[in-house]
Structure 1
Amino acid sequence: MTAFRQLRLDGVTRRFGDRAALSGLSLTIDRGEFIALLGPSGCGKSTALNCLAGLLPLSAGGIWQDDQRLDTLPPERRGFGMVFQSYALFPHLSVRRNVAFGLQMRRLPRADVRRRTDEAIRLVRLEEHATKLPAQLSGGQQQRVAIARAVVLEPSLVLMDEPLSNLDAKLRLEMRTEIRRLHQSLGLTTVYVTHDQEEALSMADRLVVLREGRVQQVGTPEELHTRPANRHVADFMGYRNLLPLRVTGTHGGLVAVEGPGLTLRGTPAVPLSAGDRVVAAIRPEDLRPGDDGVPVTVEVVEYQGREVAVEARTDQGVPVHVRAVDRPAPGDKITVRADPARVLVFPEEAS
């Protein structure tokens, strides 16, 4: 594995005609970090990964590995491993031959190919399946083959493009743990693309949230979960209640906000004044039944084990998402409230 201290993206931009799919991405990745590029479809995360891999040329900016410029090099000279969403396995080759393929293309000695292939297969726990074809494997096993094929090359950087999106829920959980285990045990540097915020929170050291090709926020999972930079990051990080309101007053670091049938207090993300139009962001788990709250009518109830997810509406028709321990029935009238510290208030212009 080629040693490096930092991978640096300086103003990386990729245009398709007049449209910028990625605009001015600047990011420094330390060796050994696990970075997740996160955002909705079309936000530019896969474009960023393909620019890193060398599959797309840059329209502007540069990519550096320590003092070496990489964006002028072809993909095969960058020394990166890549795991695709589709796995991209050779259907006519066994697990062993799929994993060994890249080493053989590099014309390594036969003994080295055998040793490194055996080690990679062992790392992903597929020893019993080494002679099988991809069609004889489960989706999770095929994904492990794709990972083994990437890490067997001992790359300086591993790029993963939504590798778990084709798996069922149970396999996704298992493979999340497996990928994180391999990252730690091999000392990999990983850039991982996903649209799943739970997946990114559980795996990454830092997250990069993109929207329409631009970075919205870079930070640790804890920072993005508790202190999203704007309403778009809040929306993507699970704040399902995004309520358009107006500031009626400020007091002691909190703001009072009102709207049709809604009166709340919250924590401003930036200084706000009375009369400002704002968006209040609240997670469903922070909006719970309680006295002296906002009256709402229950419309939909979903059982989720220890809690139920409730969709309700205020008397003025504003939809709200609530978590409850007791199970209300559709048509029930309840009141809901939230701790002001858990209500984040963003200026409307941040939209």
Structure 2
Amino acid sequence: MTEGAFTELRLDGVGRRFAGKDALVDLDLTIRAGEFIALLGPSGCGKSTALNCLAGLLPLTAGSIWQQGPDGERRIDTLPPEKRGFGMVFQSYALFPHMSVRRNISFGLQMRRLARAEVARRTTEAIRLVQLEEHADKLPGQLSGGQQQRVAIARAVVLEPSLVLMDEPLSNLDAKLRLEMRSEIRRLHQSLGLTTVYVTHDQEEALSLADRLVVLRQGRVQQIGTSEELHTRPANWHVADFMGFRNIVEVDATHVDGTDVVVQGEGLRLRGTATAPTAVGDRVVAAVRPEDVLVGAGTDGADGPNATPATVEVVGYQGRELAVEVRTAAGRALHLRTEQRLAPGDAVTLTVDPERLLVYPLAAGEHVPAPLVAAVP
């Protein structure tokens, strides 16, 4: 039986302040048993703070945490970490260097004074789950980074915790190992029915792993949703920017017909889809993913919808696709991905489906940061 098993874990208005400054504000989240939740956002957004509050490593300065189990609901934010029954996997593997893989994994079970046969059985099963049978008697220093991370994961799941907390566990690995471990973590989650909360700043990692994502910015929740919801319909332009909408342009709404909006600015005149009520004259943000910027004629007129002439400046080879940076006549840099063979200096016409170009409101006094690549004077 999983220790401290629950059907739901509920965070009610959870907050944390450091030196009088908010690091996490009013986090409301219900986690269902067996669910994989990713806390996602840039550095300093509050995601690790939220995880540490959940683990009990940081006391709350506001709110409460509740666990719904077979015997009813109980408040757990008042309990010390060891009484919550959670497992944790850190960015640093934190393995005992003088202990073998087997002893590292069994250590927590031995501290709980379980029967020797039970310790051996669960340790052997955990080693099998992370596919380290051939390395069970090696020391951590004899393992690769990916193998060490597998040991850290096995050490957490061998305790059969009600919740596994992972704090950027793959950030120390190279790209190939990250992909392999991503699949491994998802496989373990599904095969063991684990409930997992996973902290990452990598949106691709979060999209591929999580059932639901919680996007944070400056300590506040921006959006909670499935991978598809966040990928296709970010709640605001900050989420869009973080989720890969590299083309973020501050413009003015010049025509509005329901959700059909025409915007203009920086030498661009584009038709898009409003994500919130918009009026003529509003300062707004137009956002589109690089993969939704097409090269060549479309079906809406001779040059396609939102036809925009531009010149190719930078081309990066990425296998079947090219990552391309172009510049419009007005000096605006835009990004696209294409299978067409382009080269610096090529003149192209860009098109964008208006349904793929999302228009977001801009708060009073708010501005989109200038692109890293400055406009040509």
- TM-score of the two chains, using structure 1 as the length reference: 0.98
- Between 283-292 and 120-129, the greater mean CA deviation after superposition: 283-292
Corresponding letter in the other structure for 2:38: A
Deviation at 1:324? 2.2
Q: Which residue of 2 aligns with 1:338?
A: 352
Q: Quick check: 1:157–1:190 contact (8 Å CA) kept in 2?
A: yes
Q: Which residue of 2 aligns with 1:347?
A: 361
Q: Quick check: 1:261–1:294 contact (8 Å CA) kept in 2?
A: no
In 2, the alpha carbon distance for the partners of 1:5 and 1:211 equals: 28
Secondary structure of 2:207's counterpart equals helix
Percent sequence identity over matched residues?
74
Secondary structure of 2:296's counterpart equals strand
Q: Which residue of 1 aligns with 2:11?
A: 9
Secondary structure of 2:185's counterpart equals helix
In 2, the alpha carbon distance for the partners of 1:34 and 1:307 equals: 31
Q: Which residue of 1 aligns with 2:200?
A: 194
How many residue pairs match? The answer is: 351
Secondary structure of 1:341's counterpart equals coil
In 1, the alpha carbon distance for the partners of 2:352 and 2:259 equals: 16
Tell me which of 205, 219, 237 is aligned to 2:225: 219
Q: Quick check: 1:84–1:161 contact (8 Å CA) kept in 2?
A: yes
Cα deviations by residue, 1:118-149 (Å, 9 ceiling, x for unpaired): 11111111111000000100111101000000
Tell me which of 90, 98, 101 is aligned to 1:95: 101
In 1, the alpha carbon distance for the partners of 2:347 and 2:21 equals: 48
Q: Which residue of 1 aligns with 2:51?
A: 49
Q: Quick check: 2:259–2:275 contact (8 Å CA) kept in 1?
A: no
2:246 matched to 1:247? no
Tell me which of 197, 206, 211 is aligned to 1:205: 211
Q: Which residue of 2 aligns with 1:132?
A: 138
> 5+ residue gaps in structure 1?
none
Corresponding letter in the other structure for 2:296: G
Cα deviations by residue, 1:208-232 (Å, 9 ceiling, x for unpaired): 0000000000001011111100001
In 2, the alpha carbon distance for the partners of 1:298 and 1:230 equals: 29
Q: Which residue of 2 aligns with 1:298?
A: 312
Deviation at 1:249? 0.5
Corresponding letter in the other structure for 1:27: L
Cα deviations by residue, 1:166-197 (Å, 9 ceiling, x for unpaired): 11111111111111111111111000000111
The CA RMSD measured in Å over matched residues stands at 1.1
Corresponding letter in the other structure for 1:7: L
Q: Which residue of 2 aligns with 1:327?
A: 341
Corresponding letter in the other structure for 1:330: P
Q: Which residue of 1 aligns with 2:180?
A: 174
In 2, the alpha carbon distance for the partners of 1:127 and 1:304 equals: 36
Corresponding letter in the other structure for 2:54: L
Secondary structure of 1:62's counterpart equals strand
Secondary structure of 1:128's counterpart equals helix
Corresponding letter in the other structure for 1:321: H
Q: Which residue of 2 aligns with 1:83?
A: 89
In 2, the alpha carbon distance for the partners of 1:49 and 1:71 equals: 12
Corresponding letter in the other structure for 2:34: G
- Between 249-258 and 65-74, the greater mean CA deviation after superposition: 249-258
In 2, the alpha carbon distance for the partners of 1:176 and 1:305 equals: 21
Cα deviations by residue, 1:27-75 (Å, 9 ceiling, x for unpaired): 0000000000000000000000011111111111111111111111111
Q: Which residue of 2 aligns with 1:25?
A: 27
In 2, the alpha carbon distance for the partners of 1:270 and 1:253 equals: 8
Cα deviations by residue, 1:235-270 (Å, 9 ceiling, x for unpaired): 111100001111110236310111122111100000
Q: Which residue of 2 aligns with 1:68?
A: 74
Q: Which residue of 2 aligns with 1:288?
A: 294
Q: Which residue of 2 aligns with 1:113?
A: 119
Q: Which residue of 1 aligns with 2:373?
A: none
Corresponding letter in the other structure for 2:110: Q
Q: Which residue of 2 aligns with 1:272?
A: 278
In 1, the alpha carbon distance for the partners of 2:338 and 2:130 equals: 41
Deviation at 1:327? 2.2
Secondary structure of 1:340's counterpart equals coil
2:266 matched to 1:260? yes
Secondary structure of 1:179's counterpart equals helix
- Between 185-194 and 319-328, the greater mean CA deviation after superposition: 319-328
Deviation at 1:331? 2.1
